[in-house]
Amino acid sequence: MSIPTSGQVNEAASFRRGALRSGFFVATVLLCVLVASPPPATGGSKPPDKFKPFKLKTLDGAQKTLQDFQNKATLVEFFYPRCPYCNAALPEVQKIYDKYKDKGLSVVWINVLPEQNKLIAKWQEERHFTAPVLIGASQDSLQRDYRLIATPTCYLLGEKGEVLLYQSGYKSGDEKILEAKIAEALDIAP
């Protein structure tokens, strides 16, 4: 057995420090990617069985409930104005709303960040959004009551209020799944 020289000891210690730094770097990068990435949309996952009725306000203060929006199919979309994924998804949702609103589809968007309520009117106008928007609930209660883990989150409800589709997050193409489910609920071709 030979005794390592001081050069070999320093080299081994340097290697271990480098390996630790690289491992730490890789772990840090992975954590950042996970935090910065949108959660996957769950269009194919089993939706919650029940959707809790709500009582919220319009931007001008009028009280509205889920029953005010119920139709053959009702789309409830949770968003906030500065959400980049919402701003990618909602133009597509607006197109779907425009296409099916006279065929039995109702839509309502619910802001999940009360501190952004004042941004909504200008945000809607700039983007030509016509879907009704509701405000007035706390972020905590919305997250708890509607399983919000990402924005946008949408629930498609059937005529009797049953959950037909639950999507959390957004990736390009999710709107096709949504439109197909809406067409199915309305019993028409997309």
Q: In 10 A of CB 97, how many CB atoms?
A: 21
CATH 2.170.130.30 fits 55-186, yes or no: no
User: So where are the chain's domains?
Assistant: 1-37, 55-186
In this structure, of 18-22, 92-96, 159-163, 176-180, the range with the lowest mean pLDDT score is 18-22
Query: pLDDT tens digits for 56-114?
Result: 999 999 999 999 999 999 999 999 999 999 999 999 999 999 999 999 999 999 999 99
Amino acid at 84: P
What percentage of residues in the chain have a pLDDT greater than 70? 74
| Maximal CA-CA distance, the chain | 87
- The pLDDT score that the predictor gives to residue 49 is 72
Arithmetic mean of pLDDT over the chain: 82
Closest to 90 in 3D by CA, of 109, 103, 104: 109
Rounded mean pLDDT, 157-170: 93
- Label residue 8 by pLDDT band (50, 70, 90): low
The more confident residue out of 30 and 121 is: 121
Angle, helices 174-186/84-100, rounded to nearest 10 degrees: 30
Long-range contacts at 43-48 (CB < 8 A, ≥ 24 apart) = 43/165, 43/167, 43/174, 43/177, 43/178, 44/177, 45/166, 46/166, 47/155, 47/163, 47/164, 47/165, 47/166, 48/147, 48/163, 48/166
